[in-house]
Amino acid sequence: MAITKIHPIKSTLNLAIDYIVNGDKTDEQILVSTHKCHQETAHTQFLRTRNDVGTKGNVLARHLIQSFLPGETTPEIAHQIGMELCKKILKNEYEFVLSTHIDKGHIHNHIIFNNVNMVTGRCYQSNKKSYHQIRYQSDKLCKENNLSVIDEFYENYKKKYKTNGKSWYENEQAKRGTSWKSRLQFDIDRMIKQSKDWDDFLKTMADLGYEIKYGKHIAFKPKDKPRFTRSKTIGEDYTEERLKERIAEISSIKTPAVKKRIGNVIDMNTNVKVKESKGYEYWATKHNLKTAADTVILMHELGFKSLAQLDNFIKESAEERQSLQDKIKVIDSKISTLSSTMEQVHSVTKYRQIYLTYNKEPSDKAFYEEYKSQIILYQNAIADLKKSYSKLPNSKAILKELDLLHEKKNTLMQEYSSSKSDMKKLYQIRKNYEKYMGKEMER
């Protein structure tokens, strides 16, 4: 598997080239190749090409790094793959210096190429599209040389479902349902549904007890925690830009007008203010009459002709809510299992070559000590997978199933949230009816 990174060089070009052609790193410069330049004078040749075409940009060159897994390839093959990659992406139109470093635990290529095309005189356009082309060509070359490639479905899984920046403690707490990052995520999701705009969202979060810090990235802090947490660390759906988009999406959906909330009937027998103030007693009596009338009217609007009928409906609704909750728990369990499977498949794919190298010579203690954690991860992952699968699961299929499960869960959560609001209203009706039509009528 080759991992690629690219970044611009805006100064000290000569030092960057000197670093990548260092003889200690490149087997006495045997693993160094160039195109249309010499390694010792490459930086001056790059600048001469820039001057000839009159380029004024501040990027002098691009530095591309192509890393391979330990034990997956030889220095010679890695260098050849690097040369093929240069031909594919630079098409002999850019001067470049390629070196293969063998001084670290993993073999990796360094490619420094001129930012100016010596044929067209145009600058190299480094963007998502060009990087995707680099990665595509690198993966293709790896496949041709029987090397593993990056699993795009695992990468998509990480972006969509894997929370960033969690410590081991937070992961353990999340399993128990007590993680404060999980709580922040839950509160944000809940308040977004209730907010009409961004300012309203911030106000509701503050009302929940969160301190809010504004800056490049918005951050929240519960009052019982010492530090702020940037919401973007929860996941891609929680950046400030995405939060605003989600609020706008929800506010654009037309919802039926909600009737005024039914108030509480005041207990005239136990309320201290009623006993101390005639004025308050008068107001409370009028309030109870109005609340009782509203309660009876709402009961009839909802189709309940008796208290027994209401009680029966509340019981059925409670059972339905419990059923929804049980279904959500089952889906959560499946999501958790599939997420673990995805991680195990990734570990097996990522560390297979290391394990195979170790398995050929298990007596090589130095190799084992260097890659002990990767070897153990591979062994544990493959052992767990064998308990449920006869062959290695497909990450594409796992991601597809996870998408479907999350879609089902979101639908059930919406039903559950709606039923919770309805149940609250029903309980209030029941409470008012019993309190007023019982004790107050006796008075």
For residue 360, pLDDT beyond 70: yes
Per-residue pLDDT tens over the stretch 3-19: 678 999 999 999 999 99
Residue 132 has pLDDT above 60, yes or no: yes
- Cβ contact 366:302 at 8 Å: no
Determine the average pLDDT of the residues in 290-304: 73
d(Cα 171, Cα 339) in Å, to the nearest integer?
13
Residue 294 counted as domain residue? no
Residue 164 CA to residue 170 CA, distance in Å, equals 11
**pTM, 2 dp:** 0.47
Same domain? For 122 and 209 the reply is: no
416 pLDDT tier (thresholds 50, 70, 90): confident
Q: Please give the Cα distance from 234 to 227 (Å, whole number).
A: 15
Same domain membership, residue 15 and residue 107: yes
Both 145 and 72 in one domain: the answer is yes
Same domain as 107, residue 172 = no
**What is the rounded distance in angstroms from the CA atom of residue 419 to the CA atom of residue 234?**
28
Q: What is the mean pLDDT of residues 206-226?
A: 87
Residue 342 lies in a domain: yes
The last residue of one of the domains, among 252, 282, 297, is 252
Residue labelled with tokens 């929860």: 234
DSSP 253: S
CB-based contact 21:79 (threshold 8 Å): no
* Residues 237 and 347 occupy one common structural domain: no
Domain of residue 235: give its range: 168-252
Residue 162 has what pLDDT? Answer: 67
Cα separation of 429 and 298, whole Å? Answer: 8
Q: Which has the higher per-residue pLDDT, 155 or 373?
A: 373
Contact 62, 8 (CB under 8 A): yes
Which tens digits make up the pLDDT trace of 154-208?
Answer: 777 877 776 555 544 445 444 544 456 777 887 888 888 888 889 999 999 998 8
Return d(Cα 358, Cα 37) in angstroms, integer. 41
